[in-house]
């Protein structure tokens, strides 16, 4: 199979987008070495970057239009329609012409537009329109498939692929972020983009109420600001001032691995997610995990973590105190972490037979 991949996030972008792009294509190359893979980049690679692509056995082309929607819907369309590709693969935005597969990450901008800025909603609007042109539509979870169908009855997802966990994170040599002066087991951790949907204001308010954090046992927040953000209470601002709450911004993979492996508790109280990689990463690296009582986390994490209502600060405070004073739930014997291998095998099977996917499309 000759596949043209959307490489908009090959070099730059949200860390999760970069990881998913690289891991997916690397796994495809490992599992299907006879396939011809080409990645569409938004700039020409440097000599070192070109050598890395060559080492991976991946070809590349450059795109020129200024945004991902235009690149995918127009440029990839023309490439697959008039080029020597069997199919184009787009992230969120499907090519409009020729055979194409698209991965739609979520429909949260439709179910909860209040979590997004007006500019973000305009940027995301073409996703579902373009998805109608796709030969194959992938989603990350059954929970998200149901949301997409609810808001877009004309769309029918083909298959759930899931995401694996970054090999760079799993293989990293953990290094303590020395500037934070943290002790193993002496801090609480949260990881993710800092926006309204991540519910950080309630999370931090609950952490202060719990009495479980202090300058010597802080709540550490890893992640960049992104989109609409919440206002913080005065006592939360005071905790930031005295070091009981510490923001790190971006951290290197080795530092993130150390934080996951050494936290007393990982907290992820997002109001909703299309998937949610951080709690899976934390669980995989051995952290006790507290997450929102939401269907997506029940689907992904089952009984291996603890849950609470993310909108009730008092309930969150009690849950944090309980998690920090008792052992985490045991890992169920039948629990399996998702893998990149499963993802690419699922995708390729559907892409190799797009005319036959109607018999195996998801209905819920």
Q: pTM for this structure?
A: 0.91
Q: Is 86 helix (H, G, I), strand (E, B) or coil?
A: coil
Contact assessment for residue 100 and residue 79, using Cβ atoms and an 8 Å cutoff = no
pLDDT in tens, 169-212: 999 999 999 888 999 999 999 998 777 888 998 999 999 999 99
Identify the CATH assignment for 167-325 out of 3.40.228.10, 1.20.1530.20, 3.40.50.2000, 1.10.1060.10.
Answer: 3.40.50.2000
Chain centroid offset of residue 24 CA:
13
Q: Which helix (H) or strand (E) holds 31?
A: helix 15-31
Per-residue model confidence (pLDDT) at position 362:
56
Identify the residue whose tokens are 């087991």.
185
Residue ranges of the chain whose pLDDT lies below 70: 225-230, 355-364
pLDDT in tens, 1-17: 999 999 999 999 888 89
Rounded to 10 degrees, what is the CA torsion of 12, 15, 17, 21? 80
Handedness of CA 236, 237, 242, 247 (dihedral sign): positive
Contact assessment for residue 100 and residue 134, using Cβ atoms and an 8 Å cutoff = yes
Residues of the chain with CATH 3.40.50.2000: 2-164+339-360, 167-325
Q: Which helix (H) or strand (E) holds 137?
A: strand 136-139
Report how far apart, in Å, the C-alpha atoms of 1 and of each of 15, 168, 259 are: 29, 28, 41
Architecture of domain 2-164+339-360: 3-Layer(aba) Sandwich (3.40)
Identify the residue whose tokens are 């046992």.
217
Report the phi/psi class of residue 148: left, alpha or beta, with left for phi > 0 and alpha for psi in -120 to 50.
alpha
Rounded to whole angstroms, the Cα distance separating 179 from 350 reads 48
């Amino acid at each position: 199979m000759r596949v043209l991949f959307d490489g908009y996030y090959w070099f730059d972008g949200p860390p999760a987008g970069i990881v998913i792009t690289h891991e997916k294509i690397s796994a495809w190359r490992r599992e299907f070495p006879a396939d011809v893979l080409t990645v569409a980049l938004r700039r020409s690679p440097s000599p070192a970057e070109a050598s890395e692509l060559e080492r991976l056995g991946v070809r590349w082309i450059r795109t020129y239009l200024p945004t991902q929607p235009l690149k995918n819907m127009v440029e990839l369309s023309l490439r697959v329609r008039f080029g020597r590709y069997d199919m184009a693969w787009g992230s969120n935005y499907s090519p409009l012409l020729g055979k194409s597969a698209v991965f739609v990450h979520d429909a949260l901008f439709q179910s909860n537009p209040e979590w997004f800025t007006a500019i973000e909603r305009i940027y995301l609007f073409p996703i579902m329109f373009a998805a109608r042109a796709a030969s194959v539509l992938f989603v990350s979870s059954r929970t998200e498939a149901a949301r997409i169908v609810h808001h877009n009855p004309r769309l029918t997802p083909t298959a759930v692929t899931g995401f694996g966990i970054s090999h760079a994170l799993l293989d990293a040599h953990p290094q303590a972020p020395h500037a934070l002066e943290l002790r193993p087991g002496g801090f609480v951790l949260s990881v993710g983009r800092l926006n309204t949907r991540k519910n950080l204001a309630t999370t931090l308010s609950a952490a202060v109420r719990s009495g479980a954090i202090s300058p010597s046992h802080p709540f550490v927040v890893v992640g960049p600001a992104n989109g609409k953000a919440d206002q913080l209470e005065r006592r939360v601002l005071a905790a930031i001032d005295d070091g009981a709450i510490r923001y790190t911004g971006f951290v290197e993979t080795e530092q993130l691995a150390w934080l996951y492996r050494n936290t007393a508790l990982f907290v992820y109280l997002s109001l909703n997610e299309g998937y949610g990689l951080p709690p899976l990463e934390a669980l995989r690296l051995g952290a006790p995990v507290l997450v929102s009582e939401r269907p997506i986390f029940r689907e992904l994490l089952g009984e291996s973590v603890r849950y609470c209502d993310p909108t009730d600060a008092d309930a969150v405070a009690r849950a944090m105190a309980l998690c920090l004073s008792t052992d985490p739930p045991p890992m169920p014997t039948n629990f399996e972490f998702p893998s990149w291998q499963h993802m690419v095998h699922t995708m390729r099977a559907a892409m190799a037979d797009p005319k036959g996917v109607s018999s195996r499309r998801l209905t819920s």
